[in-house]
A and B are shown apart, each in its own frame.
Chain A
Amino acid sequence: MERVWHRGELSVRELHAEFAARLAYTTVMTTMDRLYKKGMLQRRKVGKAFIYVAALTEQEYQEQLTHHLFGMVLHDGKNSGAVLSNFVDAVSATDEKLLDRLDQLVKAKRQTLRRVE
């Protein structure tokens, strides 16, 4: 994906040229086909070959990944999903106000401690 983002668009042959020493042509082709089927790449046929372009920008991909990884916590809820103990569960608007108040207390306490020192 990094190569595709960097180059904009490229064929299997062009990508394989960069990895020829380490990967077989069919490995590169299969990987790109899988990425296409997963919706990460788009492709169009030019002659006999496919030209691949990224379906998402790198930033969009990172955001999706964050959403996915963090979503695994959010979707846990209390009735399903993984067994885990979160440091902080979902925070409501009411909780946010409480956090603001706690923040004021922490700042005041730190100031007092600084003055004592």
Chain B
Amino acid sequence: MFYVLAVALCLAVLFLVLVSTSLLCMTGLRLLLKVVHPTAPGAKANLLFMARLLPLALACIVTFGLALPAFLQFEPYSTEEGMGFRLMALAVLGAVVLAGMVARGVGLLRATRDAQRTWRQHSQKLHIDGLRVPVYCVENGGSLMAVTGIFRPTIFVAREIARTLSPEELRAALAHEMAHVSSFDNLKQLLLKITRAPHWLKAMDAADVEWTNASEIAADHDALAEGASVLELSSALIKVGRLNRSLTTRRAVASHLVPTACGSALESRVTCLSELLEGKSTAPVHEAKRGNLALPVVIALATYIACIHAVLPAVHEALEFLVR
């Protein structure tokens, strides 16, 4: 019974904290999107990502950092305490949410693996000097140019694109994809999709779109900072964009996926590149990435260790409300 109670309690706390912080973050994110305008696109992408993942992070910290230690420390092992309806209902809801996330994660990873496998079957490996990620040239790939994979990223380029782009343009486009690899954008995308809120939580949806736009602009900036030319990157964007447009509009089945309104990532990217070409802004320069997160994590850990014993009795009192 002790372990059943522990699991039920963890699930219930996880659910409660996740839902309450998600609702709070929804308002917070709306404000964040209106108020905060970081100048660096990478900083904006990181901020949005952290804000989106905050509910899950907090839920995990409260569950495994506070609720579980409090239960283990204060609840007698030989407890005969039964499981009340409140705890059972919350635990079931928690299990449903958790199972949903796991199922979504497995589905996404499987779809990614299938896409990689299918494209690889119809492709040829390209040898490009200085690139640490394998590049495959896909026959009949339309306007495909993407980096897939979380732990072993692979770049796929459609034959049509490899044929259309000049070597310099191709190098600039690949630098953009490599920037996604360096920023772990696919891992972030996976986490955002796994923790996706229902569609009616519009603020969360808007944050995901904003993150996609910011990460695309950040990848352009990183590619330029790594030495890609603005002209070649712009040229590659134009050619791939036009090829994409001609292919999607030719296909009635797929055309509903083409956005009709403005505000896409492409719009923001074109605006940024235009400003660079017109000399309205300066080209980004390479900056060494610093371990900005190390200090806050160390401080948070030290605070946790110092305060945990003082906090646990209060946490246990609060948990009693759930258990009874």
The CA-CA distance from A99 to B274 in the complex, in Å, is 10
- Minimum C-beta distance from B196 to chain A (A): 7
Q: Is there a chain A Cβ closer than 8 Å to B145's Cβ?
A: yes
Known interface pairs A87-B240, A98-B267; A106-B234 also in contact (CB < 8 Å): yes
- Are A65 and B257 in contact, CB atoms less than 8 angstroms apart? no
Q: Interface readout for A60-102 with B: 1 if CB under 8 Å, 0 if not?
A: 0010011111111111011111111111111111111011011
Secondary structure at the B interface, as helix, strand, loop or mixed, is helix
Q: Interface readout for B29-72 with A: 1 if CB under 8 Å, 0 if not?
A: 00000000000000000000000000000000000000000000
Q: Is there a chain A Cβ closer than 8 Å to B273's Cβ?
A: yes
- Are A83 and B144 in contact, CB atoms less than 8 angstroms apart? no
- Are B186 and A83 in contact, CB atoms less than 8 angstroms apart? yes
- Are B262 and A92 in contact, CB atoms less than 8 angstroms apart? yes
- Are A85 and B112 in contact, CB atoms less than 8 angstroms apart? no
Give the residues in chain B near A72, CB-CB below 8 Å: 115, 118-119
Give the residues in chain A near B209, CB-CB below 8 Å: 78
Q: Is there a chain A Cβ closer than 8 Å to B247's Cβ?
A: yes
Q: How large is the interface on B (under 10, 10 to 19, 20 to 34, 35 or more residues)?
A: 35 or more
Give the residues in chain A near B251, CB-CB below 8 Å: 67
- Are A79 and B196 in contact, CB atoms less than 8 angstroms apart? yes
- Minimum C-beta distance from A73 to chain B (A): 5
Q: Which one of A78, A81, A82, A94 lies within 8 Å of B212 (CB-CB)?
A: A78
- Are A78 and B277 in contact, CB atoms less than 8 angstroms apart? no
Instruction: Of the listed stretches B14-22, B92-100, B135-143, B293-301, name the one at the interface; the rest are far from the partner chain.
Output: B135-143
The CA-CA distance from A75 to B237 in the complex, in Å, is 21
Known interface pairs A72-B118, A98-B270; A105-B234 also in contact (CB < 8 Å): yes
The CA-CA distance from A95 to B216 in the complex, in Å, is 15
Kindly report which residue of chain A lies nearest to residue B104, judged by CB atoms: A80
Q: Is there a chain B Cβ closer than 8 Å to A109's Cβ?
A: yes
- Minimum C-beta distance from A45 to chain B (A): 33
Kindly report which residue of chain A lies nearest to residue B179, judged by CB atoms: A85
Q: Is there a chain B Cβ closer than 8 Å to A34's Cβ?
A: no
- Minimum C-beta distance from B106 to chain A (A): 12
* CB pairs A–B below 8 angstroms (9 shown): A72-B118, A75-B254, A84-B112, A88-B145, A89-B244, A91-B245, A91-B248, A94-B261, A94-B267
A contact set with B: CB distance below 8 Å: 62, 65-75, 77-96, 98-99, 101-103, 105-106, 109-110, 113
Excluding A84-B186, A90-B244, 19 further A-B contacts by CB distance (< 8 Å) are: A65-B140, A66-B141, A69-B138, A72-B118, A73-B146, A77-B257, A82-B116, A84-B115, A86-B146, A87-B173, A88-B143, A89-B264, A91-B244, A98-B266, A99-B238, A99-B270, A102-B237, A106-B235, A106-B238
B contact set with A: CB distance below 8 Å: 108-109, 111-112, 114-116, 118-119, 122, 138-150, 158, 173, 176-177, 180, 185-186, 189-190, 193, 196, 208-209, 212, 215, 219, 231, 234-238, 240-242, 244-245, 247-248, 251, 253-254, 257-262, 264-267, 270-271, 273-274, 277-278
> Which 7 A-B residue pairings sit nearest by Cβ, starting from the closest?
A70-B142, A87-B145, A82-B115, A85-B180, A66-B140, A91-B245, A84-B148
